Amino acid sequence: MVSFIRNVSFDCSDPYALARFWSAVVGHPVHPECAPGDAQVVIEPPDGPRLFFQAVPEDKVAKNRMHVCLQPTGTGRDAEIDRLLALGATMAADHRDSGWAVLRDPAGNEFCLTRSSAERRSWVVWRQDDNGNRFEVDRFATREEAEKVAATMEARGHKQLYWVAPVE
């Protein structure tokens, strides 16, 4: 037996307002039985876990220890960042030189936005740890992008070996 992810839960002061933001982000409606003022509000995408919003009395005070990472469909990462900012997200940390950006929803919850599938298809950045284990870091559309990310990771003081190779 195994478990599956039933909900991704958001603690917030106004569940309905935050659910409306995330509804626009993921393109699925707030459950029709939910209404403004409800203590619990749900979005039920057919192809993923439910998004569950619950009212709590305290404000968010520290960085999330866990967050969702989004990948755009039908558009590129930068266009999707612009769309999310227009919906009310704020930029928390711009790491587009490494492939992603960290944003905050209107309640201050961090989430990441990565490149689209089309933007990560041709070139791979690999890393090798001290034990010789090899890991795929990310995929890029061009060799130049991949080499820039590998160099950025090394410049940030990561001790592992990084290299670029075409997707096989």
Q: CA 108 to CA 92: how far, in whole Å? A: 9
pLDDT value at position 129?
Answer: 79
β-strand pairing of 69-70 with 50-55: unpaired
pLDDT value at position 63?
Answer: 83
The values of phi and psi at residue 85, to 5°, are -65, -40
121 confidence band (pLDDT: 50, 70, 90):
low
Q: Is CATH 3.10.180.10 the classification given to domain 66-118?
A: yes
Q: Can 7-57 and 66-118 be said to share one CATH topology?
A: no
The DSSP secondary-structure symbol of 97 reads G
Does the structure show a pLDDT above 80 at 112? yes
* Most confident listed range (20-29, 93-102, 119-128): 20-29
Does the structure show a pLDDT above 80 at 38? yes
Q: What is the mean pLDDT of residues 100-126?
A: 88
Does the structure show a pLDDT above 90 at 133? no
Q: What is the CATH number of domain 7-57?
A: 3.30.720.120
**For the chain, domain boundaries:** 7-57, 66-118, 121-166
Q: What is the mean pLDDT of residues 145-150?
A: 83
In the chain, count H helices and then E strands: 3, 10
pLDDT value at position 156?
Answer: 73
pTM above 0.75, yes or no: no
Q: CA 13 to CA 78: how far, in whole Å? A: 30
Does the structure show a pLDDT above 90 at 48? no
- At 29, list the tokens: 């409606």
Note whether 63 and 74 are within 8 A (CB). Answer: no
Q: CA 6 to CA 56: how far, in whole Å? A: 20
